[in-house]
Chains A and B, each alone.
Chain A
Amino acid sequence: MAYDKFNILTSTAVPLPIENVDTDQIIPARFLKATKREGFGDNLFRDWRYNSDNTPKSDFVLNNPVYGGKILVGGKNFGSGSSREHAAWAVYDYGFRCVVSSFFADIFKNNCLNIGVLPVQVSPEFLEKIFSAVFADPQTQLEVNLPEQSITLLSTGERESFDISPYKKDNLSNGFDDIDYLQNIKGEIQTFASTLPF
């Protein structure tokens, strides 16, 4: 599915300093009943965000109007648990284009890369700096620069580089996905398949 190209993102950030945020928190299973990829942002962090009577929980960060922006900053081991891509869809549909953490669960990270959300892994120290800066001033701007593979706290100029494979970087920069690539090598795949024992 096509997504927005990713180049340089400058935005304020939403801080969620909790570790091991699992995909059941990002989007609970009971909201996975759709057959289309629409509206998942409404249920992002559903049970942390709303009471059982659907009124917003005022102490949850997404309900605090002072925080906003296209960057979500989470604690260590973000996105653990289920393979549901719906979690990445919910993050995207809510309006985030980048998730920053000191550590990501594998499948969630892959899912993000496949749908145009950039996962940026920073050191635990830099993550703490971002949390402190954003809590001190919610208007703090972060610059996520994909071509240079860097993330900068614009208030202080502190900066860290992040890893991404050249292949995925190219995909995100151009809005390509893997199916475009795989369709182009179909002949090679069919030849390979004909040699397999199974």
Chain B
Amino acid sequence: MSKTLFDKVWDSHVVRKIEGGPDVLFIDRHLIHEVTSPVAFLGLKNRGIKVLYPERTFATADHNTPTINQHLPVADPLSANQLKALEENANNYGIRHWGLGHQKNGIVHVIGPENGITQPGATIVCGDSHTSTHGAFGAIAFGIGTSEVEMVLASQCIMQPKPKKMRINVTGSLNKGVTPKDVALFIISQLTTSGATGYFVEYAGEVFEKMSMEGRMTVCNLSIEMGARGGMIAPDQTTFEYIKDREFTPKGEAWDKAMAYWKTLKTDSDAVFDKEFTFDGSSIEPMITYGTNPGMGIGISNHIPNASEIEGGVATYEKSLGYMGFHEGESMIGKKVDYVFVGSCTNGRIEDFRAFTSLVKGKKKAEDVTVWLVPGSHIVEEQIKKEGLLDVLTEAGFTLRQPGCSACLAMNDDKVPAGKYAVSTSNRNFEGRQGPGARTMLASPLVAAAAAVTGVVTDPRTLI
């Protein structure tokens, strides 16, 4: 029978099918961080259970870490306690731990691919909804809750009903100034924030075939923002070149064997999807969000829609615009920006900093904008320095912070103040996401750069 890429990977990991229930799915790689794991370890302790395969779990500290002075003790006692708990749990159960200050430390979805932990055909989970990032490699990767983190630690399995399948094709090529982030925000704006709930998505078509691995990660990362459990892209030469010779990828004969298998990971030509969408890549322009969910995005030159043009309740729409301080029919161009945040598991990789730097080169940071540039990992941070990007950024009036999730979810001190406007390359513009009362506009690193040098929402195509 014909199978999709998703079927092939899922079916090869089913330990047991339960009649009238979920599949018992084997998990190859498990990533954990300090926020969603402590209660899972507590559960193991209370039940007197050991971790079944500690070598399949990788721990990093990211959500709750400071992005300056990481060499000093963490000031917030609750945060410090969570970081300590992660370290102790990792040590007690024999789990590899890349804590604060470790050279491989960074955001969980940045370090997985960077170190070759993420591989085609694997099943990967983490107590974080943006685990979908790893699908860029042709892996099945999705976020789980803490009860499920405990399950994976205890049994290397979770219980999941098999989701339905969706394919999203983006054909043609992208115009100048249009990035993978814009492609993702465009798709979400078309499907809405719940349009892919219950589905696992495969992204296909020329635009993704031509996209870099980091771009593919940005797209798959945002799958959850339209409700999809995950998104994936068939592995190809771009994938294999990216993963070759990374620390945890197979070497020598094992590599050849793996490659032979990985090359079979494609959707069969006559395989059927439950739902399919096709978009024209050349119709996408730089995107920006105007509301309080990632589905509320428009092309940067467009106007904020009227409630009547929007699917869903008028009251919810008005509440959202009210929170943002925006009105129907307004243009986004020219809106005041107080903060710019570049970073997160969505756009905190080296290509994102290259894009940001390319636009600000030779210009100056706008005076009344606070800009937080937060690399996704120490490896990204080192690369920024090595490539000379930091010199360009410094010359333009910017500083670089240390790696972590930072203002994406504002668990640490990187909070946008109430009422202030932020252009962010992260993934959620929910009320209060970047700090209580903060107003977030999601966009690409290029749109962020344009805002950083002008102090207002600006079409980056006018500056490149």
Give the B-binding residues of A (Cβ under 8 A): 1, 17-20, 22, 24-25, 28-30, 32-37, 47, 52, 75-77, 80-86, 88, 103-107, 110-111, 114-115, 165-168, 177-179, 181-183, 185-186, 188-190, 192-193, 196-198
Contact = CB atoms under 8 A, between A and B. Distances in A.
B52 interface: yes
Given A25-B430, A77-B194, A105-B227, A183 B155 contact: yes
Given A25-B431, A81-B430, A165-B161, A193 B26 contact: yes
B147 A115 contact: yes
Nearest to B53: A193
A97 B52 CA distance: 32
B42 A28 contact: no
A179 B154 contact: yes
B198 A106 contact: yes
B20 interface: yes
A86 B37 CA distance: 11
Nearest to A30: B411
Nearest to B21: A167
Given A25-B431, A106-B227, A178 B151 contact: yes
A179 B151 contact: yes
Nearest to B76: A33
26 contacts: A18-B319, A24-B409, A32-B35, A32-B64, A36-B42, A77-B197, A80-B293, A81-B430, A82-B409, A83-B145, A84-B36, A84-B145, A85-B147, A103-B197, A105-B194, A106-B198, A107-B143, A110-B148, A114-B148, A179-B49, A179-B155, A182-B154, A188-B15, A189-B155, A193-B26, A193-B156
Contacts of A178: 147-148, 151, 158-159
- 8 pairs of A and B residues whose beta carbons are closest in the complex: A167-B21, A166-B20, A85-B145, A83-B143, A111-B145, A33-B78, A35-B38, A182-B155
Contact of B430 (A24, A30, A186): A24
A30 B413 CA distance: 10
Contacts of B73: none
Interface string B53-95: 1000000000110000000000010110110010000000000
B437 A52 contact: yes
Contact of A83 (B82, B127, B154, B159): B127
Contacts of A30: 410-411
Contacts of A186: 52, 155
A81 B151 contact: no
Interface in B228-281: 229, 257-258, 261
Nearest to A18: B316
B157 interface: yes
Contact of B21 (A110, A165, A183): A165
B430 A22 contact: yes
B102 interface: no
Contacts of B258: 197
A60 B409 CA distance: 24
Given A188-B15, A198-B122, A103 B49 contact: no
A75 B293 CA distance: 15
Interface in B415-449: 418, 428, 430-433, 436-437
Contacts of B76: 33
Contacts of B29: 198
Contacts of A183: 49, 154-155
B394 to A, nearest CB: 31
Interface of B: 15-16, 18-22, 24, 26, 28-29, 35-36, 38-39, 42-43, 46-47, 49, 52-53, 63-64, 76, 78-79, 81-82, 85, 119, 122, 127-129, 131, 143-148, 150-151, 154-159, 161, 163, 193-194, 197-198, 224, 227, 229, 257-258, 261, 293, 312-313, 315-316, 319, 409-411, 418, 428, 430-433, 436-437
Given A33-B81, A85-B36, A178-B147, 13 more contacts: A33-B79, A35-B39, A35-B85, A80-B194, A81-B430, A82-B128, A83-B36, A83-B145, A179-B147, A179-B150, A182-B157, A189-B52, A198-B29
A172 to B, nearest CB: 12
Contacts of A28: 432, 436
A75 B312 CA distance: 10
Given A166-B21, A189-B157, A192-B15, A106 B229 contact: yes
Given A35-B38, A189-B26, A189-B157, A76 B312 contact: yes
B314 to A, nearest CB: 10
B151 A24 contact: no
B144 A47 contact: no
Most buried by B among A33, A183, A193: A33
Most buried by B among A82, A88, A193: A82
A163 to B, nearest CB: 11
Given A47-B432, A103-B197, A182-B157, A35 B82 contact: yes
B147 A177 contact: yes
A80 B143 CA distance: 12
Contacts of B53: 193
